[in-house]
């Protein structure tokens, strides 16, 4: 249970976040904040299954589906994103079930699961590129500007509106995270990530539990993709889908810390600020330097600080608050057969 | 009608043979990845990026410095082998006792590093070797000479690895380690040395693949993404660490891609391959040749 003090801290923090765009209106900084909130939501969605040892590198695919299905329905059929986004989420969920079911049913874990999901995001990227007559291929895609009702088209010009939307979506993600954290499913999934056989013997329906969390995570990631598309009004296969995006999610979640609710958010703040600083620092003359430094830092992180910044900080602040579970010793633990 | 059928069959046969030729290179890639996985128990997510660096090395040696292709190829293989050993020494070795997923993600970080390094150093232009090999006409069918050459070289490479693994002491030690990591150290085998050699060997295979792929494809910093995922699928389908399974799976996938490409775009061949993969996961979840546990 959350204590009174913590609840008050959350309320004050939220009030400050809501008030922010009305007090401070620098468009560039607001833009960065919106991006951080949207990506935080995506990273939180990833961490919901990632924290239980289900390391998916396929979330780039789900995000791409969210963005492209929404945009395609709007441009080609004129369907409002209010209908398009739910359809996109259902599509991503269906794909998650199709890939997830055989994986979980036949105990595909560890390296295998990572590689299968990795291939999934690669394939989504290929499909978007292959259907270039509709999706514009690797050149990117722009949803048509709405001529009529802005609300119906979910297109807004001012940053404040987007900031509040992104804040709401992000908050939704955090609430779901806490909801899962306090549910029975969490204990079942933790048992599964420690030892699948033992969990199954104790009466946990391993396949169903894994499928549920995967479905939730995939659907939320698709929502993140759709919101990102509506905000940026320009998507390319490389920015919303594919292996790079998937890896980016995993890294941000790990850098922030997987086992605390604000960890992925913290990771998003750090990685996006870092990327922006590097981008501005190096300027346009040296494309790629930012990613080079980013990549090196990520490797160093995994080697030297696998529990993430926020996770490690919290450990320092609260020594031995509880006996750490075995799987929290690792950046991400994957269930290994036979251990 | 009869004429139509004839043409169709010729195309079909051509696609089948082209698939076999493509399968050679895919099998080579899968072999390298399987070797690393089988022995060190690590998956190099950045494997295709090592190939990309090798392709750039070939491009610069042949195009800029005018080195002959057959001199540049061994140098490239050596370079990527050194890269593979360095990758193991710098990234994997410090993480050997860490959970496997950390090792895997660290190589994902290396993927970022290699891609952006290539972007910084070489730009994002598509480059090709400028060598246009003749097209072989065989009856009514046309085959690219480059593909035939790649296929043969890939076969030679695989036979060489097989001989190395079965006929030399080091190769035997590598196979032994893949069976039991702990015991081999007690038997007086320096596991660190074996790991380094294996990594270098895996790198060398990536280098060989680079020399062959550069004949057929343009090189750019993101070229690894176009054959990386398919290599992973092949390894999983064949059973990670299972050399023969990987070999068969490579040819299966190559046929699907090639035949899929016959009816539609090449990208749709990949999509078909993925659909096939999902179906196979239901039928043989632990790999093509897996025995039931």
pLDDT on residue A286: 61
pLDDT classification of B147: cutoffs 50, 70, 90: confident
The angle subtended at Cα B192 by Cα B187 and Cα B197, nearest 5°, is 105
A40 has pLDDT over 50: yes
Q: What is the reported pLDDT for A228?
A: 93
Q: What angle do CA A303, A304, A309 make, to 5 degrees?
A: 115
Query: Does residue B7 have a pLDDT over 70?
Result: no
Q: Does ipTM come in above 0.85? A: no
Q: Give the mutation candidate from A58, A99, A112 for the B interface (greatest B CB count, under 10 A).
A: A112
Average pLDDT over residues B48-61: 91
pLDDT of residue B66: 81
Q: What is the pLDDT of residues A47-103, one digit of tens each?
A: 998 888 888 888 999 999 999 999 999 988 888 889 999 999 999 999 999 888 888
pLDDT of res. B224: 82
Total residue count of chain B as it appears in this document: 293
Write out the two tokens for A27.
Answer: 């468009």
Q: What is the DSSP letter of A330?
A: S
If one compares A330 and B285, the residue with the highest pLDDT of the two is: B285
Residue B47 has pLDDT above 80, yes or no: yes
pLDDT number for residue B54: 93
A102·B278 Cβ contact <8 A: yes
Higher pLDDT, B3 or B18: B18
Banded pLDDT at A41 (limits 50, 70, 90): very high
Q: What is the pLDDT of residue B6?
A: 56
- Among B102, B119, B281, select the one facing A331 at the smallest CB separation: B102
Which pLDDT score, from 0 to 100, does residue A54 have?
A: 87
Residue A133 pLDDT > 50:
yes
Spatial distance between the Cα atoms of B58 and B77, rounded to a whole number of angstroms: 10
Q: Determine the straight-line distance between the first and last CA of chain B, rounded to whole angstroms.
A: 52
Q: Do residues B273 and B234 lie in contact, with contact meaning Cβ atoms separated by under 8 Å? A: no
Q: Tally Cβ neighbours within 10 Å of residue B221.
A: 23
Residue B291 has what pLDDT? 56
Q: Is A115 on the interface with B (CB under 8 A)?
A: yes
pLDDT score of A327? 52
* Closest chain B C-alpha to A122 CA, distance in angstroms: 6
Indicate whether B84 pLDDT > 50: yes
pLDDT at B50: 93
Q: Judge: A112–B282 Cβ closer than 8 Å, yes or no.
A: no
Q: Is a pLDDT exceeding 90 seen at residue A226? A: yes
Predicted pLDDT at B261: 73
The C-alpha of B178 sits at a distance from chain A's nearest C-alpha, in angstroms, of 16
B104 touches chain A (CB under 8 A): yes
Out of A115, A250, A292, the one facing B113 most closely (by C-beta) is A292
**B275 pLDDT tier (thresholds 50, 70, 90):** confident
- Within 10 Å of residue B115's Cβ, how many Cβ atoms? 25
Instruction: Decide if A241 contacts A128 (C-beta within 8 A).
Output: yes
- Give me the residues of A, 256-275, that contact B with CB < 8 A: none
Listed range (A19-33, A324-338, B251-265) with the worst mean pLDDT:
A324-338
pLDDT tops 70 at residue B100: yes
State yes or no: pLDDT of A11 exceeds 80.
yes
A329 pLDDT higher than 60 = no
Question: Which residues neighbour B183 within 8 Å (Cβ) at sequence distance 6 or greater?
Answer: none
Residues near B52 by beta carbon (within 8 Å), at least 6 away in sequence: B114, B115, B118, B210, B219, B221, B223, B224
Contact B109 A250 (CB under 8 A): no
Cα within 13 Å of Cα(B85), Cβ side: 13
Average pLDDT over residues A308-326: 63
Report the pLDDT value the prediction gives residue B12, as an integer from 0 to 100: 75
Residue A224 makes CB contacts below 8 A (sequence gap 6+) with A38, A39, A41, A42, A45, A63, A66, A169
pLDDT at B80: 94
**Average pLDDT for residues A209-216, to the nearest whole number?**
92
Length of chain A: 339
Q: Rounded distance, CA B101 to CA A329, Å?
A: 13
Quick one: pLDDT at residue B34? 87
Question: Across residues A191-204, what is the average pLDDT?
Answer: 86
Which site among B43, B101, B120 would you substitute to test the A interface, given the most A Cβ atoms closer than 10 Å to its Cβ? B101
At residue A320, the pLDDT reads 52
* Interchain pair B119, A247: CB under 8 A: no
Q: Is the pLDDT of residue B287 over 80?
A: no
Confidence of residue B2 (pLDDT cuts 50, 70, 90): low
- Which residues of chain A have a CB within 8 Å of the CB of B233? 115-116, 119
pLDDT tens per residue across span B196-254? 999 999 999 999 999 888 888 888 888 887 788 888 888 888 877 778 888 888 988 88
pLDDT band at B139 (very low <50, low <70, confident <90, very high): low
SS3 B136: strand
Lowest mean pLDDT among A32-36, B32-36, B86-90, B123-127: B123-127
């Amino acid at each position: 249970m959350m204590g009174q003090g913590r609840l008050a801290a959350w309320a004050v923090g939220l009030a400050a976040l809501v008030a922010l765009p009305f007090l401070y209106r620098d468009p560039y900084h607001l833009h960065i904040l919106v991006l951080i909130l949207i990506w935080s939501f995506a990273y939180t969605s990833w961490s919901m299954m990632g924290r239980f040892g289900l390391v998916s590198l396929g979330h780039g695919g789900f995000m791409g589906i969210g963005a492209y299905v929404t945009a395609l329905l709007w441009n080609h059929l004129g369907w409002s994103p209010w209908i398009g986004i739910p359809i996109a989420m259902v599509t991503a969920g269906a794909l998650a079930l199709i890939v997830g079911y055989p994986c979980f049913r036949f105990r595909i874990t560890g390296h295998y699961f990572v590689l299968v999901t990795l291939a999934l995001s690669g394939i989504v990227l290929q499909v978007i590129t292959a259907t270039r007559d509709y999706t514009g291929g690797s050149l990117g895609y722009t949803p048509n500007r709405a001529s009529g009702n802005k609300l119906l088209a979910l297109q807004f010009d001012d940053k404040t509106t987007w900031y509040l939307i992104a804040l709401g979506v992000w908050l939704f993600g955090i609430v779901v995270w806490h909801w899962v954290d306090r549910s029975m499913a969490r204990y079942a999934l933790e048992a599964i990530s420690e030892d699948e056989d033992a969990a199954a013997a104790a009466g946990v329906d391993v396949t169903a539990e894994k499928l549920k969390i995967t479905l939730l995570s995939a659907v939320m990631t698709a929502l993140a993709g759709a919101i990102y598309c509506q905000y940026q009004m320009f998507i390319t296969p490389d920015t919303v889908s594919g292996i790079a995006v998937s890896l980016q999610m995993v890294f941000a979640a790990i850098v922030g810390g997987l086992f605390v609710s604000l960890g992925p958010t913290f990771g998003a703040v750090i990685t996006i600020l870092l990327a922006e600083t590097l981008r501005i620092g190096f300027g346009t003359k040296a494309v790629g330097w930012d990613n080079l430094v980013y990549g090196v830092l990520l490797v160093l992180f995994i080697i030297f600080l696998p529990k993430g910044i926020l996770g490690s900080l919290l450990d320092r602040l609260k020594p031995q608050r509880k006996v750490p579970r075995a799987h929290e010793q690792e950046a991400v633990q994957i269930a290994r057969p036979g251990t | 009608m009869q004429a139509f059928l004839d043409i169709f069959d010729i195309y079909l046969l051509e696609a089948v043979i082209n698939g076999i030729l493509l399968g050679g290179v895919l099998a080579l890639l899968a072999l390298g990845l399987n070797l690393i996985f089988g022995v060190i128990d690590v998956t190099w997510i950045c494997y295709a990026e090592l190939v990309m660096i090798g392709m750039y090395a070939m491009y610069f040696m042949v195009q800029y410095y005018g080195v002959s292709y057959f001199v540049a190829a061994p140098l490239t293989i050596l370079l990527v082998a050194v890269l593979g050993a360095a990758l193991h020494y710098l990234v994997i070795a410090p993480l050997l006792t860490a959970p496997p997923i950390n090792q895997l993600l660290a190589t994902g970080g290396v993927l970022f590093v290699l891609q952006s390094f290539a972007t910084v150093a070489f730009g994002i232009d598509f480059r090709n070797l400028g060598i246009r090999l003749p097209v072989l006409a065989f009856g009514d069918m046309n085959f690219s000479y480059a593909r035939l050459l790649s296929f043969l070289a890939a076969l030679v490479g695989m036979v060489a690895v097989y001989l190395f693994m079965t006929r030399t002491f080091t190769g035997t030690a590598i196979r032994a380690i893949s069976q039991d990591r702990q015991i081999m150290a007690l038997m007086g085998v320096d596991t660190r040395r074996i790991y380094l050699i294996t990594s270098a060997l895996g790198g060398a295979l990536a280098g060989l693949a680079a020399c062959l792929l550069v004949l057929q494809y343009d090189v750019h910093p993101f070229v690894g993404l176009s054959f990386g995922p398919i290599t992973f699928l092949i390894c999983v389908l064949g059973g990670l660490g299972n050399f023969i399974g990987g070999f068969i799976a490579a040819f299966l996938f190559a046929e699907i891609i090639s035949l899929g490409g016959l009816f539609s775009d090449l990208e749709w061949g990949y999509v078909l391959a993925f659909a096939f993969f999902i179906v196979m996961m239901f039928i043989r979840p632990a790999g093509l040749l897996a025995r039931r546990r």
